[in-house]
Amino acid sequence: MTAASHDIGLYIHIPFCARKCRYCDFVSWSGMEPFWEPYINAVIKELEQKSQIVAHRHVMSLFIGGGTPSLLPYDAVLRIMDAVRKHYRLLPDAEITIETNPGTLDHDKIRAYREAGINRLSIGLQAWQDHLLEFMGRVHNAGDFHEAVIMAQNHGFSNINADIIFGIPYQTMGDWIDTITKVLSYQIPHVSCYSLTVEEDTPFGRMKREGRWQDPDEELERKMYSKAIEVFEKAGLEQYEISNLAKPQYRCRHNMNYWLRGEYLGFGIAAHSCFHNERWANSSDLRQYMESIERGINPLGECYYITNEEALSESMILGLRLTEGIDLADLSSIYRTDVRKKYGEKLADLAERQLVELKGSVVRLTKRGMDFANQVFIEFI
């Protein structure tokens, strides 16, 4: 499956958190409670304003992400859901996800989500060890995760994702295996398994700049990665993307749409969209965003026109993230060019370096290619 669905995805960004994690470089803040209400109003307005763009297209996924959307009172989420349903053609079987953090959930919220039609919960666990959670600046502990999952499952949520992180300084292989085992013990069908990335404009980034950061051992980090894949796959969660694993039928359709280079609209501050050969991002200035919406102007931050050539390049670097790879024959017909011929030499070279494997018209990263994916991607930039 290389071609994206004709149906679109919607993303709604909630930039509020109880506390900012020390590795996080997303647009989000803590201590902004007075802005919650006006912000939600703005997002609802934006949903209305932009509905014309997609006209009659069907929406196959909705993702309410952040920040911590579950921090909001549930009626805010309900209002958003109402607006989406009112202005968009949400398919009956659409995947509707909300991002949550342990410690922010309660019975009322979960019940409300369920009633509003949300059918997938993503829970940020990150690590099972409280000292690691504290190091990363997380507000919750492992016990909070347990409660959240049990609550969600009791209310009928079966499609649950857990985010977990490896390659944390001071994290041992034992810690990591414990985290994996705990996640599995809850019968969670989807896991996002991230290698900790130290971004510049974060507290961790500052520590690194100031020389107060000890990079974890690379060897250990890669062992953690392959261990995770090994253990999860044994339990029936198959790796389908560099950092994502799921039981059959539980792959995240919203994210698949990104990797297959489908179209999507983003709402809220700093949200990105990709539609009709354009990529654009909303302003990441909260005041500017809300004022623009208020005055009925597009809250545009930056915008790029994507040429056919660039689109193909994106299809390659996004599609190769998927374990099933890319069918070059499909791409050839989408882009009306012989992709196999165009990239033939590069692919042969990458295959020789054992970074990709070619089977028929399908190309995909090898196990080694997963570790060095950027080396592959830069060939298609």
157 vs 259 by CB, closer to another protein: 259
Listing DSSP states for 268-335 in one string gives: STT-EEEETTEEEEE-S-HHHHHHHHHTT---EEEEEE--HHHHHHHHHHHHTTBTT-EEHHHHHHHH
247 vs 272 by CB, closer to another protein: 272
Spell out the residues 6+ positions from residue 96 whose beta carbon is closer than 8 angstroms to its own.
61, 62, 63, 64, 81, 90, 117, 118, 119, 120
2 binds another protein (CB under 8 A): no
99 binds another protein (CB under 8 A): no
195 binds another protein (CB under 8 A): yes
Nearest 5°: phi and psi at 40? -60, -40
194 binds another protein (CB under 8 A): yes
Q: How far is the CB of 320 from another protein (least distance, A)?
A: 11
275 binds another protein (CB under 8 A): no
Stretch that binds another protein, among 79-87, 172-180, 258-266, 356-364 (CB under 8 A): 258-266
Q: In 10 A of CB 302, how many CB atoms? A: 11
Stretch that binds another protein, among 98-106, 172-180, 188-196, 332-340 (CB under 8 A): 188-196
**Tokens 């060939």, residue located:** 379
96 vs 271 by CB, closer to another protein: 271
Sign of CA dihedral 119, 180, 22, 281: negative
Candidates 213, 304, 344, 345; binder of another protein (CB under 8 A) is 304
The candidate with the shortest Cα–Cα distance to 267, out of 64, 36, 8, is 64
9 vs 124 by CB, closer to another protein: 9
Candidates 85, 272, 340, 346; binder of another protein (CB under 8 A) is 272
Spell out the residues 6+ positions from residue 185 whose beta carbon is closer than 8 angstroms to its own.
none
121 vs 270 by CB, closer to another protein: 270
371 binds another protein (CB under 8 A): yes
377 vs 362: CA distance, rounded Å:
16
274 binds another protein (CB under 8 A): yes
Stretch that binds another protein, among 75-83, 173-181, 340-348, 367-375 (CB under 8 A): 367-375
Q: Name the strand (E) or helix (H) holding 257.
A: helix 253-259
71 vs 101: CA distance, rounded Å:
8
Give Dmax over CA atoms of the chain in angstroms.
Answer: 58
Q: Write each residue from 310 to 349 as x if it is in contact with another protein (CB under 8 A), else as -, in one continuous string.
A: ----x--xx--x----------------------------
Beta bridge partners of 29: 16
Structure tokens at 20: 């900012």
307 binds another protein (CB under 8 A): no
164 binds another protein (CB under 8 A): no
Q: How far is the CB of 381 from another protein (least distance, A)?
A: 5
Q: How far is the CB of 216 from another protein (least distance, A)?
A: 11
Instruction: Enter the DSSP assignment of 371.
Output: H
Beta bridge partners of 150: none
Residues in region 216-255 near another protein by CB under 8 A: 218-219, 221-222, 225, 242-243, 255
Q: Write each residue from 8 to 47 as x if it is in contact with another protein (CB under 8 A), else as -, in one continuous string.
A: -x-x------------------------------------
**Tokens 């958190």, residue located:** 17
264 binds another protein (CB under 8 A): yes
381 binds another protein (CB under 8 A): yes
9 vs 148: CA distance, rounded Å:
27
Q: Which residues bind another protein (CB under 8 A)?
A: 9, 11, 194-197, 218-219, 221-222, 225, 242-243, 255, 258-259, 264, 266, 270-274, 279, 281, 302, 304, 314, 317-318, 321, 353, 370-375, 377-378, 381
